DNA sequence: TAGATTGTTAATCGATTAACAATC
DNA sequence: TAGATTGTTAATCGATTAACAATC
């Protein structure tokens, strides 16, 4: 029996991780059940939306009481693969790269930073939060030996494309790109553009939070 | 004549900032015009989508040549308010907070970090990238004096809700929340949940980039 | 001219919301 | 029982894609 392969849209995944946060808070409060209207209220969304999302993680609830908090948390973790290790390298040991290497929350979701890379000889050899900084020239060898497919790109925008070319050539297939640059990559390489400021603008643009009001 | 108030959806804003990145790259390459199929190809989207988005920033192109790169860049910046200052405080001078305070790219989009706040006496008084760390107790006074409405919340998840309550009480209206917690806030406070790991999962979940394949 | 592109409308697709029978 | 909730289908809404006349 072939395992059913479900495609979860980005919006569903974002909501599921928010449900997951809520569930952790419920568990800490000692609560055992949560209903779809409760989740919906906390997030300001529709309750049938919540039930549909929960259906997508193969969880069932009980009439009148709702969903078992621990079971639902497990279901979300299983569906989103929190327990499956996703190894990654950080490229660029600047401010953002260093901060991400110390960001322990990643490991709760199965994302492990194995090492960092930089071209600055002064940074090479330093260890940040148990992650060593290697010279970028060491990346091809380590990518192959450790079978790493994911790179977190936090280099200055001027060197982002060169860097991308280099790491793709070394075998990287997934680039989580923090540089505000649109990278040109082969069709078999996946890029996720994490433009933090863009995310911020999505938040405030329509509300016109300006200093001059 | 009242200025037309357009609501831009999050997806449109995200695409516009990507177009903006492409335009900068075009300008650096000395190119003067760009067409919708060119933009569409670089981003892997439909070209009529691009034309619709560009229409939303009140820019017009020329048949056969496309859009003037500099003009289009200006139009996007005007629509998204890059030139309008958006002052913000960072709450929590940990790894992520410190990194964001040094993230100079923010200023290109009009986001200014004025100061940082922390409850740790050892951090208070330190200056990071010209931004001073104040004790959190100083926030209400400074929020009012500087008329700051935006806070970037980078505190540990355990203290996030308390922190949110405190800064909302001090007058903060917009919270860019980097803690993996769903905050309970009054209806007049806006929260944007920036769960980095959630963003990452949106990127890789459907592709099953696991170590065990 | 021929061909590429814009601007715009219509068609399609997908996501959200409403509604409600079944359940406990 | 009465009332709250689930699970699911139908209706609505919005976003993307297709199509094409107008333009240069």
What does pLDDT average to in each consecutive run of 10 residues of chain B (213 residues)? Answer: 66 98 97 98 97 96 97 97 96 95 94 98 96 98 98 97 98 97 96 95 82 48
Token pair in block for residue B74: 């200006």
* Contact of A67 with A59, CB cutoff 8 Å: yes
Which of B154, B211, B212 to mutate against chain A (most A CBs within 10 Å)? Answer: B211
How far is it, in rounded angstroms, from Cα A130 to Cα B191?
A: 33
pLDDT band at A169 (very low <50, low <70, confident <90, very high): very high
* Contact of B162 with B139, CB cutoff 8 Å: no
Nearest to A113 by CA among A101, A124, A125, A128: A101
State which residue of chain A sits closest to B84, comparing Cα positions: A210
Q: Does B4 touch chain A (CB under 8 A)?
A: no
Strand C: list positions under 7 Å from protein Cβ. 3-9, 14-20, 22-24
**Residue B14: helix, strand or coil by DSSP?**
helix
d(CA B60, nearest CA chain A) in Å: 22
Q: Residue A207: what pLDDT? A: 83
Chain A residues with CB under 8 Å of B176 CB are 200, 203
Token pair in block for residue A177: 């790109």
State which residue of chain A sits closest to B15, comparing Cα positions: A198
The reply to whether residue A81 touches residue B192, judged by beta carbons under 8 angstroms, is no
Q: Residue B5: what pLDDT? A: 56
How far is it, in rounded angstroms, from Cα A72 to Cα A86?
A: 22
Neighbours of A112 (CB within 10 A): 15
Nearest to B137 by CA among B114, B161, B121: B121
Which of B84, B114, B209 to mutate against chain A (most A CBs within 10 Å)? Answer: B209
Q: Residue B6: what pLDDT? A: 73
pLDDT band at A210 (very low <50, low <70, confident <90, very high): low
pLDDT band at A1 (very low <50, low <70, confident <90, very high): very low
- Range list of β-strands (E), chain B: 33-34, 67-68, 86-91, 111-118, 127-128, 131-135, 150-153, 174-177, 190-193
Our measurement of CA A19 to C1' D7, in angstroms, reads 19
How far is it, in rounded angstroms, from Cα A141 to Cα A170?
A: 8
Token pair in block for residue B191: 């929260």
pLDDT at A2 exceeding the cut of 80: no
How far is it, in rounded angstroms, from Cα B39 to Cα B48?
A: 11
Q: Does B80 touch chain A (CB under 8 A)?
A: yes
Q: Does A198 touch chain B (CB under 8 A)?
A: yes
Tell me which of A5-14, A145-154, B70-79 is least confident.
Answer: A5-14
Q: What is the DSSP string of A96-122?
A: HHHHHHT-THHHHTTEEEEEEEES-TT
pLDDT at A3 exceeding the cut of 60: no
Supply φ then ψ for residue B74, to 5 degrees: -60, -45
Which strands, in side-by-side order, build the sheet including B127-128? Answer: B127-128, B131-135, B111-118, B86-91, B150-153, B174-177, B190-193
Our measurement of CA A46 to C1' D13, in angstroms, reads 14
- Range list of β-strands (E), A107-200: 111-118, 127-128, 131-135, 150-153, 174-177, 190-193
**Residue A193: helix, strand or coil by DSSP?**
strand
Nearest to A45 by CA among A15, A75, A68: A15
Percent of chain A with pLDDT strictly greater than 70: 95
Q: Does B111 touch chain A (CB under 8 A)?
A: yes
Nearest to B195 by CA among A70, A196, A77: A196
State which residue of chain B sits closest to A181, comparing Cα positions: B21
| CB < 7 A to strand D: residues 13-72, chain A | 35-37, 47-48, 51-52, 54-55, 59-67
d(CA B63, nearest CA chain A) in Å: 25
Chain B residues with CB under 8 Å of A8 CB are 205-206
The reply to whether residue A204 touches residue B150, judged by beta carbons under 8 angstroms, is yes
- pLDDT digit string, tens, across residues A15-43: 999 999 999 999 999 999 999 999 999 99
The contacts of residue A5 (CB under 8 Å, 6+ apart) are: none
Q: Residue A5: what pLDDT? A: 56
Displacement of CA A178 from its chain's centroid (Å): 12
The reply to whether residue B198 touches residue A13, judged by beta carbons under 8 angstroms, is yes
Specify the nucleotide whose C1' lies closest to residue B62 (CA): C6
* Contact of B88 with B62, CB cutoff 8 Å: no
- pLDDT digit string, tens, across residues A194-208: 999 999 999 999 886
- pTM, entire model: 0.94
Q: Does A158 touch chain B (CB under 8 A)?
A: no
The reply to whether residue A202 touches residue B150, judged by beta carbons under 8 angstroms, is no
The contacts of residue A85 (CB under 8 Å, 6+ apart) are: A110, A112, B210, B211, B212
* Contact of B204 with A174, CB cutoff 8 Å: yes
d(CA B45, nearest CA chain A) in Å: 13
Our measurement of CA B78 to C1' D7, in angstroms, reads 47
- pLDDT digit string, tens, across residues A93-127: 999 999 999 998 999 999 999 999 999 999 999 99
d(CA B178, nearest CA chain A) in Å: 11
pLDDT at A4 exceeding the cut of 90: no
């Amino acid at each position: 029996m072939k395992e059913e392969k479900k495609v979860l849209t980005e919006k569903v995944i974002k909501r599921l991780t928010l449900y997951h946060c809520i569930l952790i808070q419920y568990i800490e409060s000692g609560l055992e059940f949560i209903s779809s209207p409760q989740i919906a209220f906390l997030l300001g969304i529709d309750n049938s939306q919540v039930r549909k999302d929960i259906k997508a993680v193969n969880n069932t609830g009980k009439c009148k009481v709702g969903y078992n908090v621990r079971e639902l948390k497990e279901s979300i973790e299983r569906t989103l693969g929190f327990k499956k290790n996703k190894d990654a390298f950080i490229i660029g040991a600047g401010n953002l790269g260093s901060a991400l290497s110390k960001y322990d929350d990643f490991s709760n979701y199965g994302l492990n930073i194995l090492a960092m890379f930089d071209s600055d000889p002064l940074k090479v050899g330093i260890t940040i939060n148990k992650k060593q900084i290697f010279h970028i020239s060491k990346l091809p060898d380590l990518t192959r030996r450790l079978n790493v497919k994911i790179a977190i790109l936090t280099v200055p925008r001027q060197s982002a494309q060169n860097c991308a070319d280099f790491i793709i050539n070394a075998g990287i297939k997934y680039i989580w790109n923090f540089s505000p640059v649109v990278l040109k990559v082969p069709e078999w390489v996946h890029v996720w553009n994490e433009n933090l400021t863009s995310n911020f603008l999505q938040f405030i643009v329509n509300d016109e939070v300006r200093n001059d009001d």
